[in-house]
Amino acid sequence: MATNDERYDYGKTLIREAGGVAYDYFKSRDELKIESKGLQDVVSIADRNVEQLIRRRILERFPDDQILGEEEEGPAEFDPGRPIWVVDPIDGTQCFLSGIPTWCVSIGLVSGGHIDFGLVYDPNADELFAGGAAYGAVCNDKPIRASDAASLKDGMLEVGFSHRTGVDWTARVFSDLLKDGGMYHRSGSGALSLAYVAAGRYIGYFEEHMNSWDSFGAVPIIKAAGGWTNDVMAGDGLTAGSVVVACGPNLQAEIKNLIWPGGNHAK
């Protein structure tokens, strides 16, 4: 029976191959036909073909594994006894199609009821972020650590947003963050930004709602890098997504108080 160590090694090679194909599309993006999936939500043949490549490669090597991908989604129900690959072929599609280099390929592996490892590949910078509890956290094989910032004043908080939600919670977080002397950033690729939290480049991350394919690739890397995230698997996080809050080890209390003031978990 295949092991997750084998999946981890295979995934690292696969995500670089997929990123290479995506990067070729990026260089000739003017030829791509852009389709709308909703408000500020676009897609092209690049997303679909890269996802198909990833699906094909996974099933060639691990035919019994299951796949949840952004473009083709997954089966109506998953068998919790078999590994599930959670795939975003191009995270940051709007940036990709606009010629902005903040996009990536993201893959997470759910196995045994938790996210065993995650992979985020940025072809523009040729950076592969990888990790999990059993593997440590690395960028291009070099160990990475989440930021040791102890205050929101000590760096940039990435704030993601999509029109899947209303604006009130995010607007309130912006307001309180700025009043407290903090600073925000939005790259347009949630997965890549979360990988940057693992690498200590951003001190934290907040987004009211992310789909699992946007967060599961980076969350295990953040944890393996000494950082903290909320439980993105809680409830039906795999299929419905969740709020995502992440930070380095010393910022947990302060970021929780910014997002859920006084421990009030209402928005």
Residues lying near ligand LIP in the complex (CB under 6 A): 70, 88, 91-94, 160-162, 188-190, 207, 210-211, 214
Longest distance between any two alpha carbons in the chain, whole Å: 55
* Residues in CB range of 142: below 8 A, 6 or more apart: none
The smaller minimum CB distance to ligand LIP, of residues 88 and 116, is found at 88
CA-angle at 117, arms to 205 and 258, nearest 5°: 15
CB of 249 to ligand LIP, least distance (A): 24
CB of 63 to ligand LIP, least distance (A): 27
Q: State the angle between helix axes of 4-27 and 45-61 in degrees (0 to 180), rounded to the nearest 10.
A: 160
CB of 93 to ligand LIP, least distance (A): 4
Number of H helices, E strands in the chain: 9, 14
The smaller minimum CB distance to ligand LIP, of residues 83 and 241, is found at 241
Pick the closest to residue 202 from 191, 212, 214, 213 (CA basis): 191
The smaller minimum CB distance to ligand LIP, of residues 135 and 177, is found at 177
CB of 92 to ligand LIP, least distance (A): 5
The smaller minimum CB distance to ligand LIP, of residues 135 and 161, is found at 161
Report the distance separating Cα 156 and Cα 244, nearest Å. Answer: 16
The smaller minimum CB distance to ligand LIP, of residues 135 and 216, is found at 216
Q: Are strands 114-122 and 66-69 parallel, antiparallel or unpaired?
A: unpaired
CB of 250 to ligand LIP, least distance (A): 25
